[in-house]
Chains A and B, each alone.
Chain A
Amino acid sequence: MSLLQERAELAGSARQRRERPTMTRSAQARRARRIRHLKDHLVAYGLLSPALAVFVVFFYVPAAYLVYISFFHWGVLSSSTSFVGLENFRRLFAQPLFWHALATSGYYTLVMIPATTLLALGISLVLKEAVTARRGGVWRAAVFLPHVTPVVATSIIWVWIFNPQFGLANFVLEKLHLPALGWLDTTQWALPAVMIDSLWHSLGLYVIIFLAGLANVPRELVEVARLDGARRSRIFRRVILPLLSPTTFFVVILATVNSWQAFSQIYTMTGGPHGGAGGPAFSTTTDALLVYQTAFSFDHFSLAAAMALVLFVIILLLTVIQKWISNKVVFYR
């Protein structure tokens, strides 16, 4: 409640006290406040309700249902639904492929976070200089463009690029006098190939976020640091980076979540509708992919639900840990 309202209320109750001396001032005020509170809340929830309804129906209910079925034996077509307690989780944890998928997801995320953050920061620093140039907008658009392309369509192009016989990737390696790679056909290079596609597709978004962050670093601070005799590297480390830390933190969180959830590009590049996704030899089977396959290929929805729940807990934990770390290193103005 605003201060103004409060003051108006006090004035009002003072007037009432004069008229009806039997009623105590504070009781009056409290009742008036409670009624006003109720009205405020009703209006607020009324206005929120359409958006809230969409959220509840399409997000919270399915999410809650997912938690629910992870404790049951449940199928889309089967009529029998039986409570199995923690049975799904027990089977999950006893399953080596699940642990393998977790490790694969971890590997993927651990590479993607620093790669995304550093590359995006680097590109945005270069682009920042270009922003003031005449064609700055063109460069920004060029960097952002991949992000607005459909993942599945462009991933198919990347499959062609990584083709061991006549793909662009090996052509470039050959020109650089480097040995050709098997890429998607090998367990060692399949996941890195997917990483390159993901980086290409997602960098634009992070670059734009960093550019916004850089634009918020006051020009005077950099100028004052120059007058203070600091070299470029020192200005970057001691002035720009600390002021950019909230942006960096946001990018890291976003990259973490997006990496754990990465699915479309992995599915498309390693098999797609022809089957074999997650291969070769499960080398690209991440947690998200395994959830999909368990549910829709192996028709075991409750096991997939349990898996998704574990994935959710992991992402939540990671975010909490990152938040905790960030409180020590991120500077909020």
Chain B
Amino acid sequence: MARIELRGLTKQFGESRVVDEIDLMIDDGEFVVLLGPSGCGKTTTLRMIAGLEPISSGELVFDDKIMNDEPAERRGVGMVFQNYALYPHMTVAANLSFGLASRRGRGSRRVARQKERARVQEIARLLEIEHVLDRRPKELSGGQRQRVALGRALARDPDVFLLDEPLSNLDASLRDKMRMELARLHAELPITTLYVTHDQGEALTLADQLVVMNGGKIAQAGSPREIYARPADSFVAAFLGSPGMNLWPLGAGDNATHQEGLRLPDKIASLSARAGRLGATVGIRPEHLHIAGTRSDLVAHFTCRVQVVENLGSHLLLHGAMIDQARADVVAKLEPQFDVGRGDTISFGARAEHVHVFDAESGARIDDAIHRGGTPLHSHYRRQREAVIG
């Protein structure tokens, strides 16, 4: 078990900063999900924590011990790779016990073997792979391989559990099943877990703490619910949710309070005065758009012409553009029984608390005070460091 702290963790490959001063605090037993677009530095972060990649600068702390120079084998980390990386020439049982045997101390070999066998049995039972212990990885299904990889990482009873897109090689239904199994596993064995994915479904269901990364930086960290409800910037707003948030520009300068075709209440429109040079961006999630007149508390009205309607069973996905403002694309989620077709015009509204305002230049949220980078630790650490370094 371990508490993990990343303090200004940075990875530099030549000139490019792939991971850029990440601050993060992970509680003992917490399940943290790193979410972000491809190439944003998730794997690199994980590899630095595992000790497979040297840290360029910053500190990695397990409990109160700085781990920067601790070799990988002594960090007590179990890792599951995206492609599982099972030893292809060993049986499942040997795969599971390899790590145990590697750490055999002095003493009777026979006793050690017995202990290892017992542990392998225990892990196999936990992951329901007892019947394949004698097989080679080649002879396993994708889901079974996945379990063996999990089991191998768990067998040594790691303090920290790192998973790099562990479900991305599975088909959709198996992925859903394994996702639930992972949740169950974490409930049974509450090991501090860092889980990398670019699947939002996984991120939102599994995470105690969700960390959204973008371009080597943490865009936002917090509970999934919090991040979904109050994205810290327009990147997180557009990245999270499927489809992501509608984002429309509010003009700059004198025009700052006015978006052609979109009527905002003064309270929201006036926020844009706080925005910088390029003005503000208004955002509303597709599921928060309601047909005008269906509720009494709707504000932010606009009219849109429908271009495409997708029927997804549980709901309709409507794609269109605002009338008078062809550049403002609209996506809305509607009840499946709603009768609408191409070319129709529909008036929408949204509730005030569902309207988000961001700075168009920096992307930062401007409708309330939030700490970018999420956890209080971040700002605390910043302050502390500034106090010391200046």
Contact = CB atoms under 8 A, between A and B. Distances in A.
Contacts of B153: 227
Given A224-B81, A331-B89, A229 B99 contact: yes
Nearest to A242: B89
A230 interface: yes
B156 A228 contact: yes
B50 A227 contact: yes
A230 B98 contact: yes
A238 B98 contact: yes
A27 B103 CA distance: 67
A315 B161 CA distance: 53
A234 B153 CA distance: 18
A218 interface: yes
A226 interface: yes
B302 to A, nearest CB: 51
B102 A231 contact: yes
Nearest to A241: B89
Interface residues of B, number: 23
B349 interface: no
Contacts of B77: 227
A229 B88 contact: no
Interface in A222-260: 223-231, 234, 238-239, 242-243
A228 B98 contact: yes
A333 B79 contact: no
B87 interface: yes
Contact of B85 (A218, A238, A333): A218
B36 interface: no
B85 A229 contact: no
A227 B87 contact: no
Interface string B67-107: 00001110001110101010111000000001100110000
Residue in B99, B152, B156 with the greatest tally of chain A CB atoms within 10 Å: B99
A221 B102 contact: no
A229 B81 contact: no
Interface in A284-333: 331, 333
B98 A223 contact: no
Given A218-B85, A238-B98, 14 more contacts: A221-B87, A225-B98, A225-B102, A227-B153, A228-B102, A228-B152, A229-B156, A230-B73, A230-B99, A230-B102, A231-B102, A234-B102, A239-B87, A331-B88
Interface of B: 50-52, 71-73, 77-79, 81, 83, 85, 87-89, 98-99, 102-103, 138, 152-153, 156
